[in-house]
Amino acid sequence: MSDTTTPQATSPATPPATHALVDGPVGPGCKKVDPIVVADGVIRQFGGLTAVDVEHVEIPRGMITALIGPNGAGKTTFFNLLTGFDRPNKGAWSFEGQSLAHVPSHKVARRGMVRTFQLTKSLGRLTVLQNMLLGARDQRGEGLFAALVKPLWKAQEEANTARADNLLARFKLDEKREDYAASLSGGQRKLLEMARALMSEPTLVMLDEPMAGVNPALTQSLLDHVRGLKDDGMTVLFVEHDMHMVRHISDWVIVMAEGKVVAEGPPETIMQNKAVVDAYLGAHHDTDLGTLTNQQVEQIHEDADAGATVAPDATARRTTGRGASVAQPTDAPPARATDADDQEAQR
């Protein structure tokens, strides 16, 4: 092929006209057959910056839904609004048909909507078991006077402890039962936070970047646990940048960019949606996001921030082991794995 020949681009997949989860055509803000969360006109502004501007979005019940988008898209802020950790400038949303707008976070959790955080919130000076017991709902011994009368809450405490032990065994943390939470690794803290969320027997579990900072050795375990939530009848909504995770475990994908919902659809087509690729990589990248590694996406962002431009006739296509190809200058040195890369992957 001559240098002036443009490589054959793969045309973006056309979103399906309809889907089993959707009542009508598939698209941003499409109506779901059985939604568990419905949000309308949710806006959150910080001074002159509009962080969230969601016109309409619905979360399908009993499914694993991924909320994706580039950094700064408003995903975590939207999470905070839905769960009562932040207040919107305007807008309304409902959970199980009941309005949750302006409901404080502890009452949201009592209604069955619980979340985890990108930065884990375990209490380091409490043991793993004590952290678990904090997640149980309606504990009789929490009252000032009831706490002094042990027979009032002893049976419930024993039941909560038994449930905590079962969850710790399920998440392979039972050997850490009496250890302080501060002694756990980053991945183990993620597992602890997910297990603690289940102590309240939620209907909807919201996970904010569950894979962030997790040792690759624990990745498959976390994936299996997320799938297990669905198998137990719960709805899962998670924020994630790992496109391989999104593709492999999600039933539905919602894409945000600049605070808005720009695309929705099943994972097999959303990764090739032009609006999604443009939101992540900028225009003119005919790339399937599901085939890119996190390091490749980050490198593309770094090149864009640096203002680097490469002419089409001065690039060579580098094919990775997974079949993805990324444009490189012909005079660029060959890619080489380093100890720093390994350390970054561990982080």
Asked whether residue 11 carries a pLDDT value surpassing 50, the answer given is no
- Paired strand residues for 173: none
Residue 320 lies in a domain: yes
Contacts 24+ apart (CB under 8 A), 83-87: 83/108, 83/109, 83/113, 83/114, 83/115, 83/206, 84/108, 86/44
CB 108 within 8 A of CB 84: yes
Residue 225 lies in a domain: yes
Residues 321 and 216 placed together within one structural domain of the fold: no
Show which of 270, 298, 330 is a domain's final residue.
270
pLDDT tens sequence across 56-92: 999 999 999 999 988 889 999 999 999 999 999 999 9
Residue 103 lies in a domain: yes
| Nearest Cα to Cα of residue 84 among 128, 125, 114 | 114
Residues 261 and 306 placed together within one structural domain of the fold: no
Asked whether residue 235 carries a pLDDT value surpassing 90, the answer given is yes
Residue 258 lies in a domain: yes
Residue 40 lies in a domain: yes
Residues sharing a CB contact under 8 Å with residue 68, sequence separation 6 or more, in sequence order: 75, 239, 240, 241, 243, 246, 253, 254, 255, 256, 276
Alpha helices in 171-313 (DSSP H): 186-198, 216-231, 243-249, 267-270, 274-281, 294-305
Which structural domain, as residue segments, surrounds residue 336? 283-346
Mean pLDDT of 236-262: 90
3-state secondary structure of 40: strand
CB 308 within 8 A of CB 284: no
Residues sharing a CB contact under 8 Å with residue 101, sequence separation 6 or more, in sequence order: 88, 91, 92, 93
Residues 218 and 118 placed together within one structural domain of the fold: yes
Residue 196 lies in a domain: yes
**CA 172 to chain centroid:** 22
Q: In the prediction, which pLDDT does 293 show?
A: 58
Residues 239 and 329 placed together within one structural domain of the fold: no
Residues 338 and 287 placed together within one structural domain of the fold: yes
| C-alpha to C-alpha distance for 132 and 129, rounded to whole angstroms | 5
Residue 171 lies in a domain: no
State the total domains in the chain.
Answer: 2
Asked whether residue 8 carries a pLDDT value surpassing 80, the answer given is no
Show which of 227, 244, 270 is a domain's final residue.
270
Residues sharing a CB contact under 8 Å with residue 123, sequence separation 6 or more, in sequence order: 130, 131, 134, 181
Residues 261 and 291 placed together within one structural domain of the fold: no
Show which of 270, 304, 325 is a domain's final residue.
270
- In Å, the largest CA–CA distance within the chain is 85
Question: pTM higher than 0.75, yes or no?
Answer: no
Asked whether residue 126 carries a pLDDT value surpassing 60, the answer given is yes
**CA 244 to chain centroid:** 12
Q: In the prediction, which pLDDT does 290 show?
A: 53
* Main-chain dihedrals φ then ψ at residue 267, nearest 5 degrees: -60, -30
Residues 69 and 190 placed together within one structural domain of the fold: yes
Residues 78 and 225 placed together within one structural domain of the fold: yes
| C-alpha to C-alpha distance for 246 and 68, rounded to whole angstroms | 8
Banded pLDDT at 165 (limits 50, 70, 90): very high
Q: Which of 62-66, 107-111, 114-118, 338-342 has the lowest mean pLDDT?
A: 338-342
Residues 198 and 242 placed together within one structural domain of the fold: yes
3-class DSSP string for 68-91: ECCCCCCHHHHHHHHCCCCCCCEE
Banded pLDDT at 146 (limits 50, 70, 90): confident
Q: Any idea what the CATH number is for the domain that residue 245 is in?
A: 3.40.50.300
Output the CA torsion sign for 192, 198, 199, 202: positive
Residues 108 and 199 placed together within one structural domain of the fold: yes
Residues 222 and 337 placed together within one structural domain of the fold: no
Asked whether residue 133 carries a pLDDT value surpassing 90, the answer given is yes
| CA–CA distances in Å: residue 221 to residues 12, 75, 109, 170, 188 | 32, 24, 25, 11, 11
* Main-chain dihedrals φ then ψ at residue 77, nearest 5 degrees: -60, -40
Residues 189 and 240 placed together within one structural domain of the fold: yes
Q: Which of 53-57, 166-170, 283-287 has the lowest mean pLDDT?
A: 283-287
Residue 130 lies in a domain: no
